[in-house]
Amino acid sequence: MTESGELGPALRHWRDRINPAEVGLPGGGPRRAAGLRREELAMLAGVSADYITRLEQSRATSPSAQILTALARALRLSDQEREHLFLLARQPPPTAGHMSTHLTPSLQRLLDQLDGTPLSVNDAAWNLIRWNRPWAALFGDPTLLVGRDRNVIWRHFTGRLERVSHTPEQEIRFETTAVADLRSATARYPSDTGLRSLVTDLRSVSPRFAELWDTHVVGAHESARKTVHHPEVGPLTLDCDVLTVPGSDLRIIVYSAAPGTEAADKLKLLSVIGTQTMRPS
């Protein structure tokens, strides 16, 4: 097994090679770091900047598999580099029995080229693992969400999808396919304890989820229409397409509006204002 003291230098090397613009961060102005700053990597990985510092200085030597996965994603590591990261941290690399949240560099580049369209990437349990700036402008800054609040199904069944509304028919369709999709994931990843814990907790807190789970519905998310109630530009009714990444269970969720529609104009406005609040002049 590789010495854990090599983890810090490896993290610094991978951090230094990332151009901030590649991950949607401003790169202008003087920068002491050649690539990402520690606080920028921390934000992308969903951990504290102090923890990144302790990892790089070999003062924290036992990061969890969840943190390592988030770091590999934020640093855009290849499959081989991700495995090496786990070995440096004295952790077994992810196995086939657990969900993968790894985005390959080529998929990252593809997502970067779609920077004008709101999109997110979710894993097989519908945890939010990646988003772009238009998505954040549409739904709110996801860096403020932690833990289960980054899970679409959890937020829906606990009443926390504040900006999204459905017609009664859309509600039934969404809930049915969401539960069915989660059931399929548990069959594909029987050893994933996080996934099992999510299902157990959902059954405990949501009678509606428990009712649907007990029907043993099967299926998967497909394209739909959603109405997003934005606090600045008002409601937008958008097409929502779910794209599955070949060879994995990652899902790319893309939101769009037909050209020339009011919703399309509002999306253009959101691309300008971002996550800022418009103030009266």
First to last CA, the chain: 62
Task: For residues 269 and 142, state if they share a domain.
Answer: yes
Task: For residues 48 and 182, state if they share a domain.
Answer: no
Task: For residues 76 and 111, state if they share a domain.
Answer: no
Residue 93 belongs to a domain:
no
Task: For residues 66 and 113, state if they share a domain.
Answer: no
Distance between CA atoms of residues 157 and 205, nearest Å: 8
Task: For residues 70 and 115, state if they share a domain.
Answer: no
Residue 94 belongs to a domain:
no
**Tens of pLDDT, residues 204-224:** 999 999 999 998 876 666 678
Task: For residues 178 and 245, state if they share a domain.
Answer: yes
Task: For residues 73 and 174, state if they share a domain.
Answer: no
Element holding 208 (H helix, E strand): helix 207-214
CATH of the domain at 171: 3.30.450.180
Task: For residues 20 and 125, state if they share a domain.
Answer: no
Residue 124 near residue 99 (C-beta atoms within 8 A): yes
Task: For residues 76 and 115, state if they share a domain.
Answer: no
- pLDDT tens sequence for the chain (281 residues): 334 578 999 999 999 988 887 776 766 556 666 688 899 899 888 888 999 999 999 887 788 888 898 898 889 888 788 888 988 888 877 665 677 777 777 788 888 888 889 999 999 899 998 898 899 999 998 888 888 899 999 999 998 878 888 888 888 888 999 999 899 888 888 888 889 999 999 999 999 999 999 988 766 666 788 899 998 899 999 999 998 877 678 889 999 999 999 999 999 999 888 766 544 33
Domain count, the chain: 2
CATH of the domain at 40: 1.10.260.40
Residue where a domain stops, chosen among 88, 114, 140: 88
Task: For residues 256 and 227, state if they share a domain.
Answer: yes
**Nearest 10 degrees: CA dihedral of 96, 104, 199, 216?**
-80
> CA dist 243 to 62, 84, 152, 164, Å?
35, 29, 16, 20
Distance between CA atoms of residues 66 and 194, nearest Å: 10
Per the structure, the complete domain to which residue 174 belongs is given by 105-273
